[in-house]
Amino acid sequence: MSALVRSPKQLGVALRRFRRLRKYTQAALANKAGLRQGTVSDVEGGLEGVRLSTIMDLLRALDLELVIQPRTTGSHAEIEDIF
């Protein structure tokens, strides 16, 4: 499964989805990533200004990777419907 992410909110939704698939609580994920539970909550809530290192720690803890590719050409409304 993959997730299209174009905003902090979409990133939070995607991370929450993968966390739940792995049956982790926010506290368990935070512990695995070396972060506070509140930080996981902030990221999942779409908080802007989160450090890149925090995102990378969460991706590592969830056994995910970041892939950079050209944007798709779907309209903003079509993309939002995915989430």
CATH number of 8-66: 1.10.260.40
CA–CA separation, 50 vs 54, rounded Å?
7
Question: What is the structure's pLDDT at 50?
Answer: 96
Taking the model in full, what pTM does it have?
0.84
So what's the pLDDT on residue 5?
Answer: 92
DSSP SS3 for 63: coil
Per-residue confidence (pLDDT) for residue 28, from 0 to 100: 98
Instruction: Decide: 26 and 40 in contact? Cβ < 8 Å.
Output: yes
In 1-83, beta strands by DSSP E: none
The predicted pLDDT at position 1 comes to 83
pLDDT at 78: 62
Per-residue pLDDT tens listing for the chain (83 residues): 888 899 999 999 999 999 999 999 999 999 999 999 999 999 999 999 999 999 999 999 999 999 999 988 766 666 556 55
In this prediction, residue 57 carries a pLDDT of 98
